Structure 1
Amino acid sequence: MADISIGTARHIDLIKIRLGRDMKNLEKEGLKVRLKESSAGRFNFVSCQVMPDGGQKGDIQAIFRHHIARSLSDLILGQWQKLLLKDMIRENYYYFNEEERQNIFKYALSHVGYGRGGRKAVCQQLFKKRIMEKILDFLRHNNQIIVEGFIRFRLKDYVEQLEQAVERAVDDFLMEREYQEFIQLLKYFVEIQESRVELVHVLKLPGGAFQLLDEQKQVLRVDYLENLFMDLTEGEINYEDMLISTLITLAPKQIVIHNPDCEKKNTVMETINLVFWGRVRECTDCSLCRKK
């Protein structure tokens, strides 16, 4: 008879449900399975007992340990990982308010592989493989495992990776907050500016430069922009900064962005849409677009 006991200080019901489901698969392999619940102090335990039923094949102990390891690794990634991230954010970044911590948590989840995308799925699979290997190695020498203690002492590399994910998430959050504050400042400048032109066409040229056209689709030439260009072109030219600064100075009532590759959105176009909200439209198929 094989017997493994799993303990936890929280979410014992999740363990019971998951083990109960996975143990049914063992019964299909000719094994009798029995689950028993107990408690000791602040820990609750689920004991899994597996006995041969005459129809099983292979090493019972190895099969049993593999099922347990797979169940626990899924639970650690599916439930404890989120708890660990939230604990790290709450303990180390307590000076953020609840809404800010929740945003950091969302960024952290993306860094550990939650969400769509092949790379994210691969990240979670790598985590699962390493955790399963650690659990299997532990169960070869022990028949009792406490989830929280196992994570703390046996999955130190994994916990360090979660801590790094939280650090990157905080950086992401701060950068996004700075960007939003920057957008609000630019919107304020636009609101207090008097519109100097009715309409501006924006064309992206080869090499990263932009061309601005007036309502008649002629190159826009305005005397009061010369000093602005002089200031912005000192040193290395940043065409995107120059474009945004020029548009803010002009404060047009309408902006048409000619962008035939509209599926390839970039930061400057997103910034223009945010700053000039309600004034921007995109054109993807006109003589100007085709000429590019």
Structure 2
Amino acid sequence: MTYKLKIITDGDRLLDLLQDNFSWLQERGYNLGIKVDREENASIINLELQGYTLDRYFNQDDIIYIFKHQMSELLAEYIAETWEKKLLWKEIIKNYKVISDQDKQIVYYKSLEFLRLYNNNDSINLLLNFSRKNKIANKILKYIEDNDFLVIEGFINFCMQDYLTEIKFAIELAYEELRNEKEYNEFIKLLRYFVETQPPRVFEVNLFMKEDGLFYLWDGNGVKIEEKYIDYYLDDIIMNDTSLDDVLISILITISPQKIVLHNTSAIDYSEPVEIIKKVFNEKIVNCSNCDRCLKLKSQIEQ
């Protein structure tokens, strides 16, 4: 029995994978011959599966089918591991010429992350990546069932349009995220400039924020200060045009205090408004270490 398959690709990574993954063939009396020819930037890999055995469980057609199936999985792994990065970069260079080289690199790494880290859960990531590779493997298996000649780049370009669409979508997401980050950073810079160029209306502001977004503000003497400012935004709040988070940030920007004491930090440390406040006021932020008023408010909330 003889089965032949010719694969054209670039580099030596596929050759390494081939040499590491078919030891089981020898155990069943078969030999996988691997011959490599070099042409410019291409590696032409000639595979020849030979052998004959009286295996009680598998006949020769079974061995060929198992080999094709494993070869398809190996090529899918190879494409996802090696070609995916090339395809991402090629697409970025082609369609995002106007952005800087530094931004191209950022988009590249973000899009790669989108493709491989869909979810915060590692198990879900493994499952989704397996599903993606499995789709590639199935396409390859169908192709080599009827063909003994496979050009990796040509196969990707002409037989895997859904995979290329997925790559383009990941890049679009990455580029959009980069734009949003830049807009966000410009917004923070603008707020910092505003805070730094106007005199403080109150020296110290204390902020106690609940997990649901409700907040309490008082000055260094313990006097409430939020009510007169909230009245200004009351109509917008009622009409749902302005969130409490936006109101809080606007009040603090308007007051521009020299010092902001954050209370109940364990509950609010990673909330979006608090992150913005920290970035805008930076060195003016102080964390409370369970003061009496803080403990009293926590006690009232828990009741």
TM over 0.5: yes
In structure 2, the residue matched to 1:175 is: 180
Say whether the 8 Å CA contact 2:4–2:148 is kept in structure 1: yes
Give me the whole-angstrom Cα distance separating, in 1, the residues matched to 2:65 and 2:203: 76
Give me the whole-angstrom Cα distance separating, in 2, the residues matched to 1:118 and 1:268: 31
Letter in 2 for 1:7: I
Q: Decide which structure has greater helix share.
A: 2
In structure 2, the residue matched to 1:237 is: 242
The 3 A distance-change label for structure 1 pair 150 and 229 is same
Residues 114-153 of structure 1: matches in 2 within 5 Å?
114=117, 117-153=122-158
Q: Deviations over 1:141-176 (max 9, x none)?
A: 111111101101111111111111211221111111
How many correspondences in the alignment? 289
In structure 2, the residue matched to 1:220 is: 225
Alpha-carbon offset, residue 132 of structure 1:
0.5
Q: Which of the residues 105, 118, 127 maps onto 1:102?
A: 105
Q: Deviations over 1:26-73 (max 9, x none)?
A: 334543222110145653211222223637652111121122111110
Say whether the 8 Å CA contact 1:229–1:242 is kept in structure 2: yes
Give me the whole-angstrom Cα distance separating, in 2, the residues matched to 1:3 and 1:19: 14
Letter in 2 for 1:6: I
In structure 2, the residue matched to 1:279 is: 284
Say whether the 8 Å CA contact 2:6–2:45 is kept in structure 1: yes
Say whether the 8 Å CA contact 1:260–1:284 is kept in structure 2: no
Q: Which of the residues 76, 83, 86 maps onto 2:86?
A: 83
In structure 2, the residue matched to 1:2 is: 3
In structure 2, the residue matched to 1:27 is: 26
Alpha-carbon offset, residue 76 of structure 1:
0.8
Residues 20-59 of structure 1: matches in 2 within 5 Å?
20-40=19-39, 43-52=42-51, 54=53, 58=58, 59=62
Structure 1: any 5+ residue segments left out of the alignment?
none
Say whether the 8 Å CA contact 2:200–2:258 is kept in structure 1: yes
- The alignment's C-alpha RMSD in Å is 2.7
Say whether the 8 Å CA contact 2:207–2:260 is kept in structure 1: yes
Q: Deviations over 1:231-267 (max 9, x none)?
A: 8658433211111111112222222222355477222
Alpha-carbon offset, residue 104 of structure 1:
1.2
Give me the whole-angstrom Cα distance separating, in 2, the residues matched to 1:108 and 1:254: 40
In structure 2, the residue matched to 1:158 is: 163
SS at match of 2:7: strand
Give me the whole-angstrom Cα distance separating, in 2, the residues matched to 1:262 and 1:205: 7
The 3 A distance-change label for structure 1 pair 183 and 206 is closer
Alpha-carbon offset, residue 229 of structure 1:
4.0
Q: Which of the residues 230, 240, 246 maps onto 2:251?
A: 246
Q: More displaced, 231-240 or 108-117?
A: 231-240
Q: More displaced, 208-217 or 180-189?
A: 208-217
SS at match of 1:277: helix
Q: Deviations over 1:168-188 (max 9, x none)?
A: 221111111111111111111
Give me the whole-angstrom Cα distance separating, in 2, the residues matched to 1:84 and 1:33: 30
Structure 2: any 5+ residue segments left out of the alignment?
none
